[in-house]
């Protein structure tokens, strides 16, 4: 196959597809990369085999190409070759059996102990306005509970301030416990810290009520008495991080990461942390030990005279 044939096929394929204008351009550039590779190897489309694709893949990794860019190119080629096969211009798709490189597992971004304290201490400016005092009271209880118990934002949304026949998740302040409905409808029991207990007690004294029974028992509500949504919890945490003058945007899951990281640093058992977080697999919890080691390694690099 000559270069003209490849160009004709690419043109016809792009005209055939229902891609958006932006996606069509991405595919066109990806197929240009394929054409350059085949010319370099002196191969036609019918001669291209899986082994050639894997060779290209290895070269790209050695050159330092990102996992995301390689995966995008491979996806583009896979769809194109399948289109050629369906039109009977090639016998088999050489992309079958070629897997994109795995994206490196990113470590969770947690706050330091000092940043967590800064968030709670400085994220609630003093005010004499009743509405702002009310918001400070609610939001402080929310953040204290997120950090104290490592809950997900979605789990916070479901919490009631006491157990009722409608409750699936609730707090028991007298027992210093929160009953959580986690992923897969699995219930777990998590302790509540003393600062969170104090903040929750203050919040319940000013929390509004609503006639609707399911809303009336919601732990965290807006001024209208309605249960806070997932999005509103994210917005509250982001706002409080900004007011505390933290250098990066904060989201609820960072407080969960911080909870796990900080109690592991204090000597907590990995299995116990798994139970507290509601992880189905221990491997999900073990990433926090990697995060802890990374911080230790950074401290070593800074302090040890033989580190560099």
**Segment 130-160, tens digit of pLDDT:** 999 999 999 999 999 999 888 989 999 999 9
The answer to whether 190 and 175 have CB atoms below 8 angstroms apart is no
Question: From CA 308, how far away is CA 301, in angstroms rounded?
Answer: 7
Residue of higher predicted confidence among 11 and 238: 238
Which 3 state secondary structure label does DSSP give 188? Answer: strand
**Segment 8-33, tens digit of pLDDT:** 888 888 887 777 777 888 888 888 98
Locate tokens 């210093």: which residue? 176
CA-based nearest residue to 154, from 183, 125, 175, 174? 183
Question: From CA 111, how far away is CA 124, in angstroms rounded?
Answer: 18
Which 3 state secondary structure label does DSSP give 80? Answer: helix
Burial class of 222 by CB neighbour count within 10 A (0 to 12, 13 to 18, 19+): middle
Residue 199, pLDDT above cutoff 90: yes
Which range among 1-15, 136-150, 202-216, 292-306 shows the weakest confidence by mean pLDDT?
A: 292-306
Confidence of residue 294 (pLDDT cuts 50, 70, 90): very low
What pLDDT, on a 0 to 100 scale, did the predictor assign at position 295?
46
Q: Provide DSSP, 113-158.
A: HHHHHHHHHHSS-----HHHHHHHHHHHHHHHHHHHH---HHHHHH
The answer to whether 78 and 226 have CB atoms below 8 angstroms apart is no
The answer to whether 251 and 230 have CB atoms below 8 angstroms apart is no
What pLDDT, on a 0 to 100 scale, did the predictor assign at position 211?
44
Which range among 72-81, 200-209, 248-257, 260-269 shows the weakest confidence by mean pLDDT?
A: 260-269
φ and ψ at 29, to 5 degrees? -65, -40
* Residues annotated catalytic, as ranges: 152, 183, 253, 256, 279, 288
- Residue 191 pairs in a beta bridge with 177
CATH of domain 113-282: 1.10.443.10
**Segment 168-181, tens digit of pLDDT:** 899 999 999 999 88
């Amino acid at each position: 196959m000559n270069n003209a044939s490849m160009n004709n096929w690419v043109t016809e394929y792009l005209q055939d597809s229902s891609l958006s204008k932006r996606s069509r351009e991405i595919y066109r550039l990806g197929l240009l990369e394929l054409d350059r590779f085949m010319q370099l190897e002196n191969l036609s489309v019918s001669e291209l085999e899986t082994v050639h694709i894997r060779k290209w893949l290895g070269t790209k990794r050695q050159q330092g190409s990102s996992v995301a860019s390689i995966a995008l190119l491979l996806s583009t080629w896979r769809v194109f070759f399948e289109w050629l096969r369906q039109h009977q211009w090639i016998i088999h798709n050489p992309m079958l059996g070629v897997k994109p490189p795995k994206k490196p597992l990113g470590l969770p971004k947690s706050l330091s102990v000092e940043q967590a304290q800064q968030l709670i201490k400085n994220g609630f400016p003093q005010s004499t306005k009743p509405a702002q005092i009310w918001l400070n009271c609610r939001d402080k209880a929310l953040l204290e509970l997120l950090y104290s118990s490592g809950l997900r934002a979605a789990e916070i949304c479901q919490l009631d301030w006491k157990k009722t026949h409608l409750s699936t998740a609730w707090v028991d302040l007298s027992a210093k416990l929160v009953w959580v409905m986690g992923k897969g409808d699995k219930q777990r029991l998590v302790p509540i810290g003393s600062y969170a207990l104090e903040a929750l007690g203050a919040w319940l004294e000013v929390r509004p009520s609503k006639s609707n029974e399911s809303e009336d028992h919601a732990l965290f509500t807006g001024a209208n008495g309605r249960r806070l949504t997932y999005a509103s919890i994210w917005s509250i945490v982001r706002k409080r991080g900004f007011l505390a003058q933290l250098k990066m945007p904060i989201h609820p899951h960072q407080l969960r990461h911080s909870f796990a990281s900080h109690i592991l640093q204090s000597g907590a058992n990995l299995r116990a942390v798994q139970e507290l977080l509601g992880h189905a697999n221990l491997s999900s919890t073990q990433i926090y030990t990697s995060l802890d080691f990374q911080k230790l390694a950074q401290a070593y690099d800074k302090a040890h005279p033989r580190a560099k």
